[in-house]
Amino acid sequence: MIVCTGSIALDTTRTPFKTVERILGGSASYFSFCASFFNKVGVIAVVGSDFPEKHWRELEDKGIDLSGVQRKKGKTFHFDSSYSFDLYARTANKTELGVYSGFKPVVPDHYKYAEYVYLGTTDPKTQLATLKEFPERKIAFMDTIGLYIKENRKDLLKVLGEVDGFVLNDEEARMLCDTPHLLKAGRKIREYGPRIVIIKKGEHGCLVFHEENIYAFPAFPLEDLVDPTGAGDSFAGGLIGQLSRERKINETALKRAVAYASVMGSFVCEDYGLDPLKRLDEKRIEERFNIYRNMTNW
Amino acid sequence: MIVCTGSIALDTTRTPFKTVERILGGSASYFSFCASFFNKVGVIAVVGSDFPEKHWRELEDKGIDLSGVQRKKGKTFHFDSSYSFDLYARTANKTELGVYSGFKPVVPDHYKYAEYVYLGTTDPKTQLATLKEFPERKIAFMDTIGLYIKENRKDLLKVLGEVDGFVLNDEEARMLCDTPHLLKAGRKIREYGPRIVIIKKGEHGCLVFHEENIYAFPAFPLEDLVDPTGAGDSFAGGLIGQLSRERKINETALKRAVAYASVMGSFVCEDYGLDPLKRLDEKRIEERFNIYRNMTNW
């Protein structure tokens, strides 16, 4: 079983082409939806009393275990943001934490034997406390955001000392290590603890630091980029999803997992919110995986 | 034999860290130096009476055939440019064409049986005329710049109709096809003629359009970027150099050649001008090729 923590949100996303309001979003939604194509997933999160039953069912119908999702009186985490014309830069218009503020994860008993753990972005203290609940874990990955790098560095480094893997984007890596050089940043982060560090570069792919090795993956080139929201968490969903299907986490397994991650990260950008994921099945994932394999191997 | 046309220049390059003055540069210098690690190369170019004998010998000592390089009374092509702090954007400070203005390539008889031809950036009319001098050619590649895309489009399309391959950067591809989408641009350029189109994205690698297929290659991640001048022509030198060693130009051969191209393009950025190439040997090229292979294959 894979367990993830993170947010379930109602997103308002404004692109130069269209605005979608209060659609299903949040790191745990994207991650769990993607990972559930690979394995059984349990979510730890919180929603408010305004959370539409429809969204709950969308996740549940995908076979995602929501017994770790608390329903609290109040408002669901709401994030309103706008994309620039090239769909690259995102500006936050409004962040209403609602019930997510002060969220204390409660881990259902049957989650506790999970071997694969993904700590989506929350404050590092909560990430660390949650991690301790999984004594049987084989692989734990984490994500974070600039806010915690800037304001909670000490706690962040503590979590980094306990996880196996860390996915972050290029900007965050530069910020965390105070260097413009991604190679130097990647190596430095490895010294903080995780034996796998993946620096994502959006449409330019990612760099993977695995023990003493470095691998470079291009992104799957997209015909039409519509909404990049959730790309990072979908990437992580494909990554942990595939790792959970591998017998042994060696170089070959990790590279294959990064390939699935790149594929899942590409699908999600082809339409708004989780819509492109809802249209997905194993066959289309395998098809794109094979195209990507031929595109990148030589 | 590989024959290339292009410029031999005296470059003044200003980076935020250092200024180097009147060093050996120009597309033909970078291309021929890199390609000569792979095969015999003949150059078609022109230098002025101020061209230092030292530079001539540097090329000749590398085994490059300079019998197609005219020595004319006047000044050698001089290019003075400055790089931005991130070494990405380059501003031209001064372009003195000198003897390069009105340059009429003269092809030595023993060049005419060349099977591999690289048309470095010159005006498209000259490129087309030069191309016709190689009836035995198996593969001809070309390069261009924004100036000719804007001001000489009609002639440029004529050359494109005659060559097998085209290497250009992302900005030029967008300009030529009037679209921000590189996938659309690459496909459109293929329709103009060349069966191989390579769109370079600097530190982000390249996209290769080969018949109906697309391949994506990351750049070799550099520890220290010092001077990106010549990266594109060095890339082309590795590309055509390796293609000339392949028996058949199929998918495997092309991908291997793009890998060598990426490797040569990375070396040249590690110091000013041709300096890093002068320190290079086959052994170091093979070493980096093998690292790159493991970095990108899975």
Distance in angstroms (rounded) separating the CA atoms of residues B72 and B221: 41
- Report pLDDT digits (tens) over A238-266: 999 999 999 899 999 999 999 999 999 99
| A223 to B258: CB separation less than 8 angstroms, yes or no | no
Give me the pLDDT at residue B28, please: 97
Distance from A26 to chain B by nearest Cα, in Å? 28
Cβ-based contacts of B180 with chain A (< 8 Å): 86
Structure token digits, residue A176? 């965390």
pLDDT band of A89, cuts 50, 70, 90 = confident
> pLDDT value at position A283?
98
End-to-end alpha-carbon separation of chain B, Å? 34
The verdict on A213 touching B (C-beta cutoff 8 Å) is: yes
Return the closest-CA partner of residue B44 out of B133, B148, B164: B133
Residue B286: CB atoms within 10 Å: 12
Give φ, ψ of B277 to 5 degrees: -70, -35
DSSP code for B180: S
B182 Cα to chain A: minimum distance (Å): 9
**DSSP assignment of A127-178:** HHHHHTT-TT-SEEEE---HHHHHH-HHHHHHHHTT-SEEEEEHHHHHHHHT
The confidence score (pLDDT) of residue A87 equals 83
Spell out the SS3 assignment of B220-281. CCCCCCCCCCCHHHHHHHHHHHHHCCCCCCCHHHHHHHHHHHHHHHHHHHHCCCCHHHHCCC
Distance from CA of B260 to the nearest CA of A (A): 12
* Cβ contact A179:A220 at 8 Å: no
pLDDT over 80 at A192, yes or no = yes
DSSP string, B12-55: EEE-SS-EEEEEEESHHHHHHHHHTTTS-EEEEEEE-TTS-HHH
Give the integer Cα–Cα distance in Å for A116 and A136.
9
Please identify which residue in the block is written with the tokens 């959006």.
A202
Q: Give dist(CA B127, CA B26) in Å, integer.
A: 16
Cα–Cα nearest to B70, from B106, B122, B28: B106
Quickly state the pLDDT bin for A114 (edges 50, 70, 90).
very high
CB contact under 8 Å between A201 and B205, yes or no, is: no
Chains A–B, number of C-beta pairs less than 8 Å apart: 79
Q: Do B221 and A204 touch (CB under 8 A)?
A: no
Predicted pLDDT of residue B275 = 97
Side chain identity at residue A9, one-letter code? A
Architecture of domain B2-296: 3-Layer(aba) Sandwich (3.40)
Q: For residue A262, give how far its alpha carbon lies from the nearest alpha carbon of chain B (Å).
A: 13
Chain B interface, best mutation among A226, A254, A269, A298, by max B CB count within 10 A:
A298
Nearest to A209 by CA among A194, A227, A225, A224: A194
Do the beta carbons of residue A6 and residue A26 sit within 8 Å?
Answer: yes
**Cβ within 8 Å, pair B221-A214:** yes
Q: Answer whether A86 sits within 8 Å of B297, measured CB to CB.
A: no
The mean per-residue pLDDT over the stretch A126-134 comes to 96
Q: What is the pLDDT along chain B (298 residues), one digit of tens a residue?
A: 999 999 999 999 999 889 999 999 999 999 999 999 999 999 999 999 999 999 999 999 999 999 999 999 999 999 999 998 888 788 999 999 999 998 999 999 999 999 999 999 999 999 999 999 999 999 999 999 999 999 999 999 999 999 999 999 999 999 999 998 999 999 999 999 999 999 999 999 999 999 999 999 999 999 888 999 999 999 999 999 999 999 899 999 999 999 999 999 999 999 999 999 999 999 999 999 999 999 999 9
A183 Cβ under 8 Å from any chain B Cβ = yes
d(CA B48, CA B99): 6
Mean pLDDT of A267-288: 97
Non-local (6+) Cβ contacts of B34 within 8 A are: B233, B234, B236, B237, B238, B241, B264, B268, B277
**pLDDT tens digit sequence for A134-159:** 999 999 999 999 999 999 999 999 99
Q: Which helix (H) or strand (E) holds A12?
A: strand A9-14
- List Cβ neighbours of A170 (8 Å cut-off, separation of 6 or more): A182, A199, A200, A201, A202
Looking at this protein, which amino acid is placed at residue A82?
A: S
* Sign of the four-CA dihedral A170, A234, B179, B201: positive
- What local confidence, expressed as pLDDT, does residue A86 receive? 80
CB contact A212 to B (< 8 Å) = no
Here the tokens at position A58 are 């969308």
User: Would you call A138 an interface residue with chain B, using a CB distance cutoff of 8 Å?
Assistant: no
Model pLDDT for residues A1-53, shown as the tens digit of each residue: 999 999 999 999 999 889 999 999 999 999 999 999 999 999 999 999 999 99
Mean pLDDT of A269-275: 97
Q: Is the pLDDT of residue A88 over 80?
A: no
Of A204, A213, A223, the CB nearest to B183: A223
Q: Which pair of structure tokens corresponds to residue A291?
A: 């195209």
pTM for the full model? 0.94
Q: Do A210 and A8 touch, CB atoms closer than 8 A? A: no
Yes or no: say if B231 and B186 are a contact pair by the CB < 8 Å rule.
no
Residue with the two structure tokens 């760099």: A207
